[in-house]
Amino acid sequence: MDIAKDIEMFDNFSLDTVKLPEATLRVRHGGSGSPVLLLHGHPRTHATWHRVAPLLAKNHYVVCPDLRGFGQSSKPEDTADHSGSSKRAKARDCIALMRHLGHERFAVIGHDRGSYTAFRMAMDHPESVTHLGILGGVPILEALERCNAQFATKWWHWFFFAQLEKPEQAILTDPDRWYGGTAEAMGADAYRDYQAAIHDPATVHGMVEDYRAGLGIDRTHDEVDRRESRRVECPTMILWSLRDDLELLYGDVLDVWKPWTTKQCGHGLDCGHHMAEEAPNELARDIIQFLRER
């Protein structure tokens, strides 16, 4: 399988491997205008943005990395506290990447697990983040504190992935059956990139480590922020999928975010979980409109 194959729908984008102080990231970037960083979720790579990025690139410089632990980016060293997979560590990577590309201030949009890294960037580096976009998520601390039988039934994988070794063994027995996905839904080249990721044992381990960090060190970071009454200082847009579980689990999704933001907007999109693949035009429209705010 040619995992280095270019993604056709990223026409006029560059594909690079960038060595940073703590990680080496594969990154796709292109366009012109104010910079925006797009962060994928689990179990995707940066290729999930291939239908959205070209639409944004007409007015923005768009950067799409594989987060550390995911795709073809480097995998952190295992530690007892999983700190190498923490959202704080991934946030540092993203700040370093954007500075490497010449951008001190920029917008960040994150989907699913990528939304937690985006949130941590806005909390830890407010001087760098001009706009925060959260797609399909609530703060990790809120999710865990609101956990009930319904959450445990719908999002049981959070707790399964927190176990050691067993998740990797289960996934790698049959990655295609475990994760699903089709070339028709994702696009042929994006699907090929995704297939390379889910069949790679090191990447599967890196993706699961993201969840182990979530239940431990990431939760602790959120708890400290709450005690110190810290909030996201920049404008925040929260979008969620109407055919996913967020409204079922939380009701008013915006209300969950109120204690964590100073200025927010948002709504649901009529699509399933992977909104960048299922509703790219609507998502791009919302992002472009949001980035016009000052």
* 170 CB-contact burial (10 Å; exposed 0-12 / middle 13-18 / buried 19+): middle
Measure the CA–CA gap between 76 and 67, rounded to whole angstroms.
11
Any catalytic annotation for residue 267?
no
Which secondary-structure segment (H or E) carries 135?
Answer: strand 129-135
Specify whether the CB–CB gap between 131 and 237 falls below 8 A: yes
Answer yes or no: 273 catalytic.
Answer: yes
φ, ψ of residue 82 to 5 degrees: the values are 60, 25
Rounded distance between C-alpha atoms, residue 152 and residue 235, angstroms: 31
| Cα–Cα distance, 173 to 154 (Å, whole number) | 23
The catalytic position among 103, 125, 199, 273 is 273
Helix 113-124 × helix 87-100 angle, to 10°: 70
Consecutive H or E run containing 111: strand 106-111
Among residues 112, 124, 222, 244, the one annotated as catalytic is 112
Q: What's CA 139's distance to the chain center, in Å?
A: 13
DSSP class of residue 232 equals: B
Q: What are the CA-CA distances from residue 211 to residues 86, 242, 245, 256 (Å)?
A: 9, 24, 18, 21
What's the rounded Cα separation, in Å, for the pair 168 and 147?
Answer: 24
* Catalytic annotation, residues: 112, 273
